[in-house]
A and B are shown apart, each in its own frame.
Chain A
């Protein structure tokens, strides 16, 4: 059980989900005594919760390979193993991302046709999408790997589109490649090749290449990029609110007028925050394995965890992975036919 606010908020999130949904059973992996203490103070449905003790934990700042080797009974290891053994259908973690990705690679099987998994992230956009009016676009890969071949980029797109269709109830999600502009010739060679493959080998609603600034505008529902690019992009985005807050603090110290203006727009900022609150989404998936994994934000509170569990409840039934597998197989077949 990981994350900055574990175990309290994670247990409370599971408790909340146990009361909200009667179609899920939740296994909490972690220190039994600590979990029991939080549960005793929290409304929950004990019939839908079970505990699996893990005596160790991986910290957020641990280097995953070394930490996993040193702590074989870490809660994330126990949880990933339970999923691999079929004791659970999906994994939710707010803990160390590297550890989750590494363990999935070691203990789960890749979906047929997937060479490298993709870690997705969600980003709030101006335009909403799907039957759920989802304000979040899906971006992948944001760091499960570094480079990606053109074929892998297409597979990311196929997996992301299947996820968006199911989770956002958006049957024809718009898929785009992240590049340096709409003019594909200006981008890297792999991106250009992937662009051609998307057009010629998939039936996706592919809208071409977009620039980073277009992500926030929401013109694409699924944005595909290599792990290296995605990781840089997400880290930069993460830093923006902090930068703005820092500037606002500085400005408010400088002038009374600026302070007043900041006060005036406070309610608007709060509303925007509510509309785009990542806690509503719960987390983003690690795609490419024969099991579902939702990686919740490290700062996740109870609501985010409960929502991540809800996402899993929708994603875990075999339909989604079957869809992904079918689309990838179709792409691979077409690719080999055209190549020969």
Chain B
């Protein structure tokens, strides 16, 4: 529910590890460190906190932030404290009941993503629904598949039988399957998911995501995400600057790397040149509030150079993707469980 008591206008759903937080799950050392870190030791992906704050503020109370993470329930206090430190306010925070799964000897469920995240998304939607949704995930596991499956279920493009095949391929337990099928039937249908943003934590080839269609946009960083959401009308130029400011302050980014990020979106046809031009004009009036950023003229010059460097190149539209994705086959062939 929103502050005004009316339903939310838009829900932004965030994954946590590798999407919001910099987490190393690829090594045992990284796994142990992630479990033992104190809130102030955890590092957010630069720009992610600023983006969530901007998205929430942009709605004037009508934007809902829902976090669904694969981290265990036992980490709730630490994770909530970290979000609080970052000034991130959320409306919902779902964590995985891994201890419960272990105690019930449901070992498949400890690792499985589809049988955990999909019902969590559907349950959240059933409880509070907004006309629009934007989903944030990463390329480490199966976020792209789960989010698109969720979007297609909401749009009534996935039959009961198809969903059953997906869940079986994902090795879901029988009771989980029943629960998901029931949620599928009950959830309100509509084209709610407007955008899926996948953070390329592993730097996966972007073409890998073409099959999910233009709604899903892989991004290398949250400046790119902010640019896409600016083009979508979700953010204003000022919001984009707050994201850029946080990224530059992290010292992981420079004006050049942000300019390269802009060029990459243009190259991939994820941003129109006209939008980049419009942005240049709108940021000029941002004024003293952003006096800690490099001079506007310098930034615009760097960005303009990147746009011009592409020459007359005009991208073909992002492939529309197939009418209906065979999710079960994807789960089977790529082990996206």
- Specify which chain B residues have a CB less than 8 angstroms from the CB of A51 in the assembled complex: 263, 267, 309-310
Question: B202 to chain A: closest CB distance in Å?
Answer: 8
List which B279-311 residues lie within 8 A (CB) of chain A. 306, 309-311
- Specify which chain A residues have a CB less than 8 angstroms from the CB of B134 in the assembled complex: none
> B205 to A36, Cβ gap below 8 A?
no
- Specify which chain A residues have a CB less than 8 angstroms from the CB of B204 in the assembled complex: 43
Interface presence of B246 (CB below 8 A): no
Q: Given contacts A32-B313, A46-B264, A51-B310, could you give 8 more A-B pairs where the C-beta distance is less than 8 Å?
A: A32-B267, A36-B267, A36-B268, A40-B268, A42-B205, A44-B203, A46-B261, A48-B257
Contact of B315 among A36, A45, A47 (CB under 8 A): A36
Interface presence of A53 (CB below 8 A): yes
- Specify which chain B residues have a CB less than 8 angstroms from the CB of A32 in the assembled complex: 267, 310-311, 313
The interface size bin for chain B is 20 to 34
**Closest A residue, CB atoms, query B257:** A47
List which A19-45 residues lie within 8 A (CB) of chain B. 19, 25, 32-33, 36, 39-45
Interface presence of A335 (CB below 8 A): no
- Specify which chain B residues have a CB less than 8 angstroms from the CB of A25 in the assembled complex: 256-257, 260
Question: B321 to chain A: closest CB distance in Å?
Answer: 15
> A50 with B203: in contact, given A25-B256, A36-B268, A45-B220 (CB under 8 Å)?
no
Question: What are 24 A-B pairs at a CB distance below 8 A?
Answer: A19-B203, A25-B257, A25-B260, A32-B267, A32-B311, A33-B313, A36-B268, A36-B315, A41-B207, A44-B203, A46-B260, A47-B253, A47-B260, A47-B261, A49-B260, A50-B256, A51-B263, A51-B309, A51-B310, A52-B309, A53-B309, A53-B311, A53-B312, A55-B311
The interface size bin for chain A is 20 to 34
> B311 to A50, Cβ gap below 8 A?
no
Complex CA distance for A149 and B38, rounded to whole angstroms: 68
Interface presence of B221 (CB below 8 A): yes
List which B206-243 residues lie within 8 A (CB) of chain A. 206-207, 210, 220-221
List which A276-309 residues lie within 8 A (CB) of chain B. none
> B260 to A43, Cβ gap below 8 A?
no
Question: B103 to chain A: closest CB distance in Å?
Answer: 39
- Specify which chain A residues have a CB less than 8 angstroms from the CB of B310 in the assembled complex: 32, 51, 53
Question: A11 to chain B: closest CB distance in Å?
Answer: 12
Q: Which B residues have a C-beta under 8 Å from some C-beta of A?
A: 202-207, 210, 220-221, 253, 256-257, 259-261, 263-264, 267-268, 306, 309-313, 315
- Specify which chain B residues have a CB less than 8 angstroms from the CB of A39 in the assembled complex: 206, 267
Complex CA distance for A44 and B268, rounded to whole angstroms: 14
Complex CA distance for A52 and B315, rounded to whole angstroms: 15
Complex CA distance for A45 and B261, rounded to whole angstroms: 9
Complex CA distance for A52 and B309, rounded to whole angstroms: 5
Contact of B205 among A43, A48, A50 (CB under 8 A): A43
**Closest A residue, CB atoms, query B265:** A46
Complex CA distance for A52 and B263, rounded to whole angstroms: 10
> B260 to A50, Cβ gap below 8 A?
yes
Question: B258 to chain A: closest CB distance in Å?
Answer: 8
- Specify which chain A residues have a CB less than 8 angstroms from the CB of B264 in the assembled complex: 46-47, 49
Complex CA distance for A313 and B205, rounded to whole angstroms: 25
Complex CA distance for A50 and B220, rounded to whole angstroms: 14
> A50 to B221, Cβ gap below 8 A?
no
Q: Which of B207, B221, B306, B309 has the most CB of A within 10 A?
A: B309
- Specify which chain A residues have a CB less than 8 angstroms from the CB of B253 in the assembled complex: 47
List which A45-73 residues lie within 8 A (CB) of chain B. 45-53, 55
Complex CA distance for A33 and B312, rounded to whole angstroms: 10
**Closest A residue, CB atoms, query B269:** A36
Question: B207 to chain A: closest CB distance in Å?
Answer: 4
- Specify which chain B residues have a CB less than 8 angstroms from the CB of A46 in the assembled complex: 220, 260-261, 264
> B203 to A45, Cβ gap below 8 A?
yes
- Specify which chain B residues have a CB less than 8 angstroms from the CB of A47 in the assembled complex: 220-221, 253, 257, 260-261, 264
- Specify which chain B residues have a CB less than 8 angstroms from the CB of A41 in the assembled complex: 205, 207
- Specify which chain A residues have a CB less than 8 angstroms from the CB of B221 in the assembled complex: 47
- Specify which chain A residues have a CB less than 8 angstroms from the CB of B312 in the assembled complex: 53
Complex CA distance for A39 and B218, rounded to whole angstroms: 13
Complex CA distance for A19 and B220, rounded to whole angstroms: 12
Digit string of A119-160 for contact with B (CB within 8 Å is 1, else 0)? 000000000000000000000000000000000000000000
- Specify which chain A residues have a CB less than 8 angstroms from the CB of B267 in the assembled complex: 32, 36, 39, 51
> A48 to B260, Cβ gap below 8 A?
yes
- Specify which chain A residues have a CB less than 8 angstroms from the CB of B257 in the assembled complex: 25, 47-48
